[in-house]
Structure 1
């Protein structure tokens, strides 16, 4: 026979469990606006581009079904085929250069601020401000700073006697892409700095103290204790930087125009898509849609592969 006290406790426990649960209807109501916006601005355009890429177009009039004809056209027709390979190479160099600068400078700043917390909030804010500004505005500002006629950078170089260093930075093929990489890294270095800073704050002090007691130097402690624990942060930064570098358009457009600077030295896939869609022939919609799907598959596939490889390295 169940005691009376037990009979009163059970309903109370049941009520507490039910109170801790959230009704599925409320969950759906809160998620619906986000899913609606996601579907309207991401899923629908993606499916539309996928559909358009299988048809030929006469201006804005849909023509006959072309299958993979548009894909074959953009990959084999000169000069578009050569422009795709050149733009892809620039995207790869852009990603590698940005990663090298962002990771190195961002990690260095994070370590300095972690060791010297005085003024930490101020410097975090200052280094994070550039990526709050539109890349178009950043690009136009830097194009003025780098102007060969009145730009203050060349004026300063001439003023200190370095006339040979003063040059049209965005007007020479040899310097256009490196300048683009430096400007992009300058704008986004605050992101890796904050991510690395958060990761450093999560490193247990006991591990560092144990390494110090074993006689490890500060440098050895960093590379043997801290850095392996920062691999999840490195993975996040790598994937996000890859997606950003292969989606780049606005900064390149502001610095080099729709043609990608002198001799196409800064031409990237985003600019190539823009020219194909708005400056192409009568079948611009079909070809640009096919190009957009190729770019999407490339970014999505490589991002997934990078995430899996980096996660496997975290485990090992």
Structure 2
């Protein structure tokens, strides 16, 4: 009788522990459902749609890889594709040099604990708190050729010859959008680099100083090699953001890549194909889906390679 009374609480404790152990696995289910509905299903649907011909929003006959072939060979789609791809590459290169370069310098200055460093961190991160759409519309007003603040300031300083229709000139429109994106992203990159700098052991820097490593030598020989993980993280994030560039371009120039497709990106081109009718072709949904699949595979493959390179660098260190 005593054994039965003693064993009952033990059995209850075991069942409670077992329920808790299995209950933990229930918590990710809502997140998995959201991820499946908004990420996995659209990817699978896009892959499926890319193998069919389309009449408006009605699915037509199965065409296999024809949409992929047309995307790379059929005009005007192939021309627009390569034009947009070049703009994405430029997007990435300029962001790496301007955005991440300035962010690293600012992070290094703040790391040196100059006066007002905390205020600078907040000030540089503030633009990141704004919506991308809001940032786009604000800068569209600033760059307006008639009453925009930039042209007005240039006029005040007697630099009328530098005044331009910044978003209306094919030579300056894309670069203007990229530089706005750099301004918007500097704060986030600064925090990543600053975190990397603060993780460098101070004992190592002190030892390097005793060995005679000062100034540029300290930066190039000690700090930069130890910053490789942070630099690689920002490279991956910048790459993904550059090849997914859509919101800012859309807010500042719409979905037509104006002027004369000089601000087109692959994401904007996809939007125009899938939802804007493309060039009026009946297979626009199929072509848009094919482009979405190509873009996803390209970003995923390059990101995986960059992450593999980052792991290799960390092991070597």
Q: TM-score surpassing 0.5?
A: yes
Q: Deviations over 1:249-305 (max 9, x none)?
A: 111112222221222111110111111112233222211111110111111111111
- The residue aligned with 2:315 is 315
Give ranges in structure 1 of 5+ residues lacking alignment. Answer: 1-14
The answer to whether residue 202 in structure 2 is matched with residue 200 in structure 1 is no
1:40 Cα offset (Å): 0.9
1:237 Cα offset (Å): 0.5
* Contact kept in structure 2, 1:106 and 1:193, CA below 8 Å: yes
Q: Deviations over 1:58-116 (max 9, x none)?
A: 22222211111111122211011011011000000110001111221111111111112
Give ranges in structure 2 of 5+ residues lacking alignment. Answer: 1-12
Greater mean alpha carbon deviation, residues 114-123 or residues 158-167? 114-123
The answer to whether residue 273 in structure 2 is matched with residue 297 in structure 1 is no
- The residue aligned with 1:82 is 79
- The residue aligned with 1:279 is 277
- TM-aligned CA distance change 1:202 to 1:137, over 3 Å: same
* Contact kept in structure 2, 1:145 and 1:152, CA below 8 Å: yes
Q: Normalized against structure 1, the TM-score is what? A: 0.90
Greater mean alpha carbon deviation, residues 305-314 or residues 261-270? 305-314
- TM-aligned CA distance change 1:286 to 1:162, over 3 Å: same
- The residue aligned with 1:164 is 161
Greater mean alpha carbon deviation, residues 71-80 or residues 280-289? 280-289
2:93 to 93, 96, 105: 96
1:118 Cα offset (Å): 4.3
- The residue aligned with 1:11 is none
What are the residue-to-residue correspondences of 1:230-241 with 2, within 5 Å?
A: 230-241=227-238
Question: Secondary structure in 2 aligned to 1:73?
Answer: helix
* Contact kept in structure 2, 1:148 and 1:166, CA below 8 Å: yes
Q: Distance in 1 between matches of 2:164 and 2:70?
A: 40
Q: Distance in 1 between matches of 2:268 and 2:208?
A: 50
1:22 Cα offset (Å): 9.6
- The residue aligned with 1:128 is 125
Q: Distance in 1 between matches of 2:235 and 2:67?
A: 32
2:245 to 244, 248, 268: 248
The answer to whether residue 25 in structure 2 is matched with residue 28 in structure 1 is yes
What are the residue-to-residue correspondences of 1:42-61 with 2, within 5 Å?
A: 42-61=39-58
* Contact kept in structure 2, 1:255 and 1:261, CA below 8 Å: no
Q: Distance in 2 between matches of 1:56 and 1:208?
A: 62
Q: Normalized against structure 2, the TM-score is what? A: 0.90
- The residue aligned with 1:140 is 137
Q: Distance in 1 between matches of 2:33 and 2:115?
A: 44
